[in-house]
Amino acid sequence: MAVLKGWYSQDGWSTKILFINKADEENEIKMRFYDGETDKVIKEIKLALKPHEIKSILLDDVEGLSGCKGVVKIYSKKKVYCEGLLTEKDKPNSYLYYRLPEVPEVGLV
């Protein structure tokens, strides 16, 4: 299982997460959103990706994350590529774009 780690912020920012399934078969993804850098899970989302499918999720549309920020961990049964885009709501030209790195499963937060 692959584990990717990144950051999200819905506190004055807008976060979009992009997934690319690199596997030749369906891939199950689980996203866990944490309160800051604690181990308290605020929200968990599951999704399935078809072979080589590209999908993005705009966190503005996810209930329960408004005003929150912290660590996001992506758990994937197969190889997945994942990027994050954080855009400041008052300044659309102010953004942070990054690739979520793979991390070991222990000591994640």
Q: Is it the case that residue 50 has pLDDT exceeding 50?
A: yes
Q: Phi and psi dihedrals of 60, rounded to 5?
A: -60, -30
The distance from CA 39 to its chain's CA centroid, rounded to whole angstroms, is: 16
More confidently predicted of 96 and 92: 96
Residue 25 lies in a domain: yes
Give the range of the structural domain holding residue 63, as residue numbers without chain letter. 2-99
Quick one: pLDDT at residue 29?
Answer: 95
| Percent of the chain residues past pLDDT 90, beyond the cut | 86
Mean pLDDT of 14-43: 94
Residue 106 lies in a domain: no
Residue 85 lies in a domain: yes
Residue 109 lies in a domain: no
| pTM to 2 decimal places | 0.89
